């Protein structure tokens, strides 16, 4: 965040503490227990390359303040895109309506709450112009075509984002954050003997332009091409239940779907999650520990402060096989009378925060990758993924495998592609029977959707074995 001060943010949004205080009193004048104001100014830039030409750009500017009032478990919410005393007052009155009393809140003092910096960068994206970005796309494009003669098309997208937020909450805190983000996503189509295949690869993080070193650009191109041409030899697996080995890295999607969502405390407060009655119970083998961590340096899901003014942390969902903690927002931590975990997040000032994941991963275990693969007679090795989903109550979850390998007699044999895997959260957790020592975090642009809100997340996994899960396939 460099030398940013509270006064910079107050002037960016053309407000002062007085106006904020006044708006909060209006928000609470009908008897609300708590309120917060979330100011946001976000600029995102996109440029894209297609048919060897950088011929499209897009910018997205969002500006406004969201006002939330909580009464018990109830939420009143409104926002205004024009930050003026009149419109803030009107939004505060709308949000206040969730309560219907007359309780008067005495004036309170807002004290600056300093936050740490988990994504220090040298150059803010506002200071990087388009001429610096265009050559990066061209370099990647040239590499993609030079790597394999079968490549016939390539698409590359560069995104950068600068997000300034200022949060004032009626517990007396005022804090601010600057959240950078960048992504390069590449895809290519290759053709061999009249057959075409396409695949993609992306790298994303809370980083600046210096992050895109020549070796990163090289890897972006290499991964995009190798993931594509490998598909020419891919076959479908057999359908049904089998052992699977999940590669380290983006296989962390398993945790996101199988347990992460089910542990979000809003579902548990409402008792509609399959995990609702399992805290302090054994849910997995002792070798399994799973965390949701908001403080990993530069990761997509990291946040210096959550979107309702709570410090972030590393939260254990599962410790040595025992289910430990839900992912809380303010409403749920109050409901369960526990310490908040800093998981209250929102897509933008237009939305009220809800419990969301940050970076979810499994800690390393005692096994070696090779011994895990060797232990499987017939099964599947999954490597790259596109998407997943879960039913919170039933616990059924899926993730879509873009590529992997068959395992036959302890060896990776044929590549496989485009298969869905479906399991049940608690059941699959109890079937994680081997965990390797090679934890790797996903580096792609993972985005999680819930209740119509998208937030950036990440995930990670060491190589693991699940003893049985249902794999989509063909007879």
Residues 198-217 that bind another protein (CB under 8 A): 198
- The residues, any chain, with a CB within 8 Å of residue 137's CB and separated by 6 or more, are 47, 48, 49, 54, 156, 158
Give residue 2's region: left, alpha or beta (phi > 0; psi -120 to 50): left
- Which of the stretches 77-85, 215-223, 281-289, 312-320 binds another protein when contact is defined by CB under 8 A? 77-85
Regarding 20 and contact with another protein (CB under 8 A), the answer is: no
- Pick between residue 14 and residue 111 the one whose CB is nearest to another protein: 14
Of the candidate residues 335, 350, 369, 374, the single one contacting another protein (CB under 8 A): 350
CB of 61 to another protein, least distance (A): 4
CB of 62 to another protein, least distance (A): 6
- Pick between residue 155 and residue 315 the one whose CB is nearest to another protein: 155
Q: Per-residue DSSP letters for 160-223?
A: EEEEEEEEEETTTEEEEEEEEEEEEEEEEEEEETTEEEEEEEEEEES--GGG--HHHHHHHHHH
| Paired residues of 41 in beta bridges | 63, 164
Regarding 63 and contact with another protein (CB under 8 A), the answer is: yes
Regarding 273 and contact with another protein (CB under 8 A), the answer is: yes
- Pick between residue 98 and residue 157 the one whose CB is nearest to another protein: 98
| Nearest alpha-carbon partner for 327 in 315, 345, 310 | 315
Regarding 449 and contact with another protein (CB under 8 A), the answer is: no
Other beta carbons less than 10 A from residue 345's beta carbon: 27
Regarding 424 and contact with another protein (CB under 8 A), the answer is: yes
Name the 3-class secondary structure at 138. helix
Regarding 56 and contact with another protein (CB under 8 A), the answer is: yes
CB of 421 to another protein, least distance (A): 8
CB of 238 to another protein, least distance (A): 8
Regarding 360 and contact with another protein (CB under 8 A), the answer is: no
Regarding 192 and contact with another protein (CB under 8 A), the answer is: no
User: How many residues make contact with another protein (CB under 8 A)?
Assistant: 83
- Which of the stretches 69-77, 178-186, 213-221, 244-252 binds another protein when contact is defined by CB under 8 A? 69-77
- Pick between residue 248 and residue 273 the one whose CB is nearest to another protein: 273
Token pair for 142: 């040239």
Of the candidate residues 2, 11, 18, 57, the single one contacting another protein (CB under 8 A): 57
Token pair for 55: 């011929």
Regarding 473 and contact with another protein (CB under 8 A), the answer is: yes
Site for another protein in 303-332 (CB under 8 A): none
Of the candidate residues 11, 18, 53, 454, the single one contacting another protein (CB under 8 A): 53
CB of 399 to another protein, least distance (A): 7
3-state secondary structure 292-339: EECCCCCCCCCCCECCCCCECCEEEEEECCEECCCECCHHHHHHHCCC
Q: Per-residue DSSP letters for 48-94?
A: EEETTEEEEEEEEEEEEEEEEEEETTEEEEEEESS--HHHHHHHHHH
CB 35 within 8 A of CB 69: yes
């Amino acid at each position: 965040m460099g030398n940013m001060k509270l006064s910079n943010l107050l002037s960016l949004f053309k407000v002062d503490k007085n106006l904020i205080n006044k708006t909060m009193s209006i928000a609470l004048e009908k008897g609300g227990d708590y309120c917060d104001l979330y100011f946001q100014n976000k600029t995102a830039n996109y440029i894209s390359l297609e048919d060897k030409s950088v011929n499209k750009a897009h910018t997205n500017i969002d500006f406004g303040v969201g006002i939330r009032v909580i009464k018990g478990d109830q939420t009143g919410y409104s926002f205004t895109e024009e930050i003026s005393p009149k419109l803030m007052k009107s939004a505060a009155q709308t949000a206040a309506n969730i309560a219907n009393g007359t309780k008067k809140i005495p004036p309170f003092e807002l004290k600056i709450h300093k936050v740490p910096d988990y994504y220090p960068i040298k150059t803010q994206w506002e200071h990087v112009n388009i001429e610096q970005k265009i050559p990066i796309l061209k370099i990647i494009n040239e590499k993609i075509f030079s790597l394999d003669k079968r490549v016939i098309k390539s698409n590359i997208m560069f995104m950068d984002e600068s997000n300034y937020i200022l949060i004032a909450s009626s517990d007396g805190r005022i804090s601010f954050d600057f959240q950078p983000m960048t992504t390069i996503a590449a895809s290519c189509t290759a053709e061999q003997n009249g057959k075409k295949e396409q695949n993609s690869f992306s790298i994303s993080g809370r980083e600046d332009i210096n992050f895109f070193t020549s070796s990163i650009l090289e890897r972006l191109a290499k991964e995009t091409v190798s993931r594509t041409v490998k598909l020419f030899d891919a076959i479908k697996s057999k359908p049904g239940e089998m052992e699977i080995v999940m590669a380290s890295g983006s296989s962390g999607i398993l945790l996101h779907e199988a347990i992460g969502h089910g542990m979000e405390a809003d579902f548990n407060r409402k008792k509609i999650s399959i995990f609702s009655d399992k805290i302090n119970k054994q849910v997995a083998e002792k070798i399994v520990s799973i965390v949701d961590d908001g403080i990993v340096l530069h990761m997509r899901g990291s946040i210096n402060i959550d979107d309702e003014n709570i410090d972030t942390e590393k939260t254990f969902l599962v410790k040595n096989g025992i289910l430990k903690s839900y992912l809380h927002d303010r409403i749920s931590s109050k409901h369960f009378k526990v310490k908040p975990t800093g998981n209250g997040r929102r897509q933008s000032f237009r939305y009220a925060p809800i419990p969301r994941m940050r970076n979810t991963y499994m800690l390393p275990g005692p096994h070696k990758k090779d011994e895990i693969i060797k232990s499987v007679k017939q099964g599947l090795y999954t490597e790259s993924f596109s998407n997943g989903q879960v039913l919170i109550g039933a616990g059924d979850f899926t993730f879509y495998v873009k590529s992997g390998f068959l395992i036959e007699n302890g060896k990776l044999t044929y590549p496989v592609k485009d298969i869905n895997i479906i399991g049940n959260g608690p059941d699959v957790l109890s079937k994680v029977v081997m965990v390797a020592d090679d934890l790797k975090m996903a580096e792609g642009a993972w985005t999680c959707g819930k209740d119509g809100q998208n937030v950036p997340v990440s995930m990670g996994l060491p190589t693991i074995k699940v003893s049985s899960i249902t794999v989509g396939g063909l007879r």
